[in-house]
Structure formats: structure tokens, C-alpha cells
Structure 1
Amino acid sequence: MCEVLLFCLLAAVPALAQPPHLVVRDDRGGPLEARLARIESLRQQGRAVAIPEGRCLSACTLYLGLEETCVGKAAIFGFHGPTSQFGTIALPRAEFERLSNMMARSYPESLRVWFLLYARYQTLTYHYVKGEELIRLGVAECPDAID
């Protein structure tokens, strides 16, 4: 009996230790494939993402495609199109299209069209958007009590 109880308690520990949402602040992005894998893991876990403040740049913006993501009005999001690992060297056209579409699929519909028409062509700098604009586009606003 004690062994069964111990097993049940240990099985519950990860669920208790894991907060209901991932809070993201000042995330500079990173490799596209790694971020897409992280997002898929969060999706499978059913975890929400909160970006209440700070900067969310590059691949960080892909969190916006998760259904339960919320943003704060003052948060700043930096979008750009896909680049080579060297940054200043342009990707071949076919690769640029493939990666642009891969990124766009991660955004909610309201951002997808805008990204494909405008933001993906910004490759040397960011196209900045405030959280308040994303909220106007339909992204959920974070409650004030996000920790």
C-alpha cells in the first residue's frame, strides 16, 4: 500500500512543480528549428505562454502561435524574416520561401498575412510591434497578475 501511495505522490510532483504557463521576458530568439521544437513540446503539454513585458525578438515571436499565449500592452516584439547563419548573407530564394512559410504557419492568422507581406523582408533589423497592437489584432492580453 505504501509503495502505491509513494508512486502516486512521485507521479504528481512534476505536475505540481510545473507552473501553468511559461513566462517569457527579454527573449532574443535563437535557431528556428529549436524554437519550433520547444513550441511543439509546449503545445503537447497544453502549457500557456505569457509575455507580459520586456522584449520578445526573432524566434521568440513564434510563441504567438500557441493558442493560449497572452501578451502585455508594453511588451515589444521584434519580427524579421529568415536569415542565414551569417546574418548578412542572403538565403537562396527557395530556402527563404520555405523558412518564411514555416515561420508564418506558427503565427495566428491575423499576423500570418502581415508577416508574409511585410515583416519577412526585414532581415537586417527588426520590425517592432508593441503588445497593444497585437492585442488589437486578436492576441490575448495577459492579466495583471502574471508572475
Structure 2
Amino acid sequence: MPGDNAKKALIDSLNGLLADYFALYLKTKNYHWHVAGPQFRDLHLLFDEQSAELFGLTDIIGERVRKNGGTTLTSIGAIADKTVIKDDDRAKVDALAMIKSLRDDNATLVERIRAVKAAAGEAGDNATEGMADDWTDQAEKRVWFLTEIAS
């Protein structure tokens, strides 16, 4: 039977992932609002689609924290403290730089999801472990799309 340390590590890992999802959601939405150039329409729609996918998982991840007996992130400050995704406060960013930044951030997200999956396995949380496979697949698809656009 998993110990309290394994459960605490899972909760911490999930909260880190939740922070990453919120941070990447906002960064993707920023790029959606500010993209310009010849690929405007395609990128505007892609960034909107990707941001919706990211935001759609925040509640699911937060509820996994609660189901494991933890407390979730409570504020923008809590998100900032836990995320590894770097902010981009600029309104004017080259479209290719946006694509590459989001590609790299989604690749980072894949690694964070894999860490959650490992922590879930240690804690005996089969539900989170299984969900992590779907989250990984979605993030890898975003990396793939962004990689193909950047080539």
C-alpha cells in the first residue's frame, strides 16, 4: 500500500501540472489574440483550439488533486509559484517565435505529465495514471502540429 509521502508527491506533481496548464493556456490565448502576418487566420484558429483544449483539462486535473485529498491552487500567485512555463508578456511577437515557444512549452508539458503518471503509479492512483496517457497524447499532438508549422 502506498504511503503518505507518495500521495503528497502526487498531489504536488498534479498541482505543478495544473499550474503549467493554466500558464500555457494564458500564453496560448495571448498568442491567439496577438498573432499577425500571412498565417494569421490559420494560427489564430489553431491557438484558439489549443487554448480551449488546455483549459478544458484544468478542472479535471484540479479534481484529481481533490480526490487524492489535497488542496488545489488558489490564485494567480499560486500558479506562478508552481509553473515551469515561462510568461511572455509581449503583445508583439513574431508568429514563428510564437509557434516555437508553444511547441517547446508543450514538449515541457509532456515531461511534466509523465512525471505525474509516475507519481500516480507510486501512489496507486490508477485513474490519474490512465488519464495521463490521454493528456500526453493531446500534448504530443500539439507539439507535432506546431513542429510541422515551424518547419
Question: Is the TM value for this pair above 0.5?
Answer: no
Larger Rg: 1 or 2? 1
Q: Which has the higher strand share?
A: 1
Which structure exhibits the higher relative contact order, with contacts defined as CA atoms closer than 8 Å and separated by 6 or more residues? Answer: 2
Q: Which has the higher helix share?
A: 2
TM-score by length of 2: 0.30
TM-score by length of 1: 0.30
